[in-house]
């Protein structure tokens, strides 16, 4: 059963990337709360220099829930020392997610080490690093959300590229968990094209691994590989159908707006972007 978002911005969250990281996190927290949203998803850069504890208090004082902390350092590395360094960095990030009380720590896996063509090797490193992080996540009481990225990012940002692939990894590393710590983040931009989406969503829901749901839109034409994502309703994704599938599969967390848009929304005042996102969440999502 799909929830209605009309009048229910408390079910919605704003990923701070949507506002372009142009203003101090304190001001962004206040703006998101003032616009009526129920949650926020900060990036590690929002915490750096501010103290994660201080940001956590500011978010809590504003009455906001943390739908996720973005994101892992890319995992694959050219050598074991660098692999270990990245893993340590991700353990620290996970501790920050715990401090924030985040619904999940978002894992964007990384992919080919520069100069390498070994995609299978990168996937192997991601599996190894995720297994290590999972141990730390259990100790810290944090959930890890593997976010498969669109295959257009397979070379340089993530070697996890479909929901089924992310679920395969989760089920391999954490089989038959009653209350899994390793799940997935479903981002409309990354998965909308997938012909296997309906069975994959059902599978993720059945095993209790739907930890996050992100919305934005796919623009036609898309002018930039990374930063030309659209406001919900401005592109071609059937977001209402996707949310219905995700919620009927069992997702009951926040609906998080995450839009990378250097060409459009990052040039507008935060209040305008928040206002339009609120409208679109209630009308097209």
Stretch that binds a second copy, among 35-43, 214-222, 249-257, 261-269 (CB under 8 A): 214-222
User: Max CA-CA distance within the chain?
Assistant: 51
Q: Which DSSP category does 229 fall into?
A: P
- Extract the tokens encoding 175: 């089989």
Instruction: Check if the beta carbon of residue 210 is closer than 8 Å to that of residue 183.
Output: yes
Q: Does the protein bind a second copy through residue 161 (CB under 8 A)?
A: yes
Least spacing, CB of residue 221 vs a second copy, in Å: 7
Q: Pick from 58, 123, 143, 280 the residue near a second copy by CB under 8 A.
A: 123
Q: Pick from 150, 203, 209, 280 the residue near a second copy by CB under 8 A.
A: 150
Stretch that binds a second copy, among 54-62, 68-76, 100-108, 147-155 (CB under 8 A): 147-155
What is the Cα–Cα distance from 68 to 193, expressed in whole angstroms?
24
Total number of residues that touch a second copy (CB under 8 A): 31
Per-residue binder mask for a second copy (CB under 8 A), 238-257, x = binder = x-------------------
Instruction: Check if the beta carbon of residue 49 is closer than 8 Å to that of residue 24.
Output: no
Helices then strands, each counted (H, E), the chain: 10, 9
Q: Does the protein bind a second copy through residue 112 (CB under 8 A)?
A: yes
Instruction: Check if the beta carbon of residue 204 is closer than 8 Å to that of residue 210.
Output: yes
Least spacing, CB of residue 26 vs a second copy, in Å: 34
Q: Does the protein bind a second copy through residue 165 (CB under 8 A)?
A: yes
Q: Does the protein bind a second copy through residue 172 (CB under 8 A)?
A: no
Residue among 2, 39, 13 nearest 257 (CA): 13
Task: Report which secondary-structure segment, H or E, holds 231.
Answer: none
Stretch that binds a second copy, among 73-81, 100-108, 135-143, 162-170 (CB under 8 A): 162-170
Per-residue binder mask for a second copy (CB under 8 A), 62-101, x = binder = ----------------------------------------
CA distances from 134 to 107, 125, 146, 179, 225 (A): 11, 14, 11, 13, 31
Of 42 and 235, CB closest to a second copy: 235
Residue among 237, 267, 241, 248 nearest 210 (CA): 248
Stretch that binds a second copy, among 20-28, 77-85, 98-106, 235-243 (CB under 8 A): 235-243
Residue among 152, 157, 248, 237 nearest 204 (CA): 248
Strands 12-15 and 144-146: unpaired
Instruction: Check if the beta carbon of residue 35 is closer than 8 Å to that of residue 276.
Output: no
Q: Does the protein bind a second copy through residue 16 (CB under 8 A)?
A: no
Q: Does the protein bind a second copy through residue 127 (CB under 8 A)?
A: no
Q: Does the protein bind a second copy through residue 139 (CB under 8 A)?
A: no
- Extract the tokens encoding 207: 């095993």
Q: Pick from 93, 232, 237, 254 the residue near a second copy by CB under 8 A.
A: 237
Q: Kindly list the residues in this chain that would bind a second copy in the complex (CB under 8 A).
A: 112, 116-119, 123, 150-152, 154-156, 161-162, 164-165, 168, 192-196, 218, 220-222, 225, 235-238
């Amino acid at each position: 059963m799909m929830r209605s978002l009309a009048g229910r911005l408390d079910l919605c969250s704003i990923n701070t990337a949507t506002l372009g990281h142009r203003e101090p996190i304190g001001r962004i927290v206040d703006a998101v709360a003032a616009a009526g949203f129920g949650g926020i998803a900060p990036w590690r850069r929002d915490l750096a220099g501010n103290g994660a504890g201080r940001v956590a208090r500011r978010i809590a004082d504003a009455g906001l829930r943390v739908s996720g902390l973005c994101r892992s350092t890319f995992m694959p590395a050219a050598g074991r020392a660098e692999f270990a360094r990245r893993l340590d960095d991700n353990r620290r990030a996970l501790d920050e997610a715990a401090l924030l009380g985040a619904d999940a720590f978002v894992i964007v896996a990384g992919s080919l080490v520069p100069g390498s063509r070994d995609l299978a090797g990168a996937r192997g490193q991601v599996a190894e690093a995720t297994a290590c992080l999972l141990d730390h996540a259990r100790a810290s009481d944090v959930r890890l959300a593997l976010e498969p990225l669109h295959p257009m990012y397979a070379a340089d940002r993530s070697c996890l590229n479909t929901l089924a692939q992310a679920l395969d990894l989760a089920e391999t590393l954490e089989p038959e968990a009653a209350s899994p710590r390793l799940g997935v983040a479903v981002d409309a931009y990354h998965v909308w094209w997938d012909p296997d989406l309906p069975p994959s969503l059902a599978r993720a829901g059945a095993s209790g691994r739907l930890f996050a749901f992100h919305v934005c839109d796919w623009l036609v034409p898309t002018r930039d590989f990374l930063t030309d994502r659209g406001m919900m309703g401005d592109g071609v994704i059937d977001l209402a159908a996707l949310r219905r599938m995700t919620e009927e599969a069992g997702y009951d967390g926040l609906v998080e707006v995450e839009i990378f848009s250097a060409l459009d929304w990052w040039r507008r005042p935060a209040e305008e972007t928040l206002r339009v996102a609120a409208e679109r969440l209630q009308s097209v999502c």
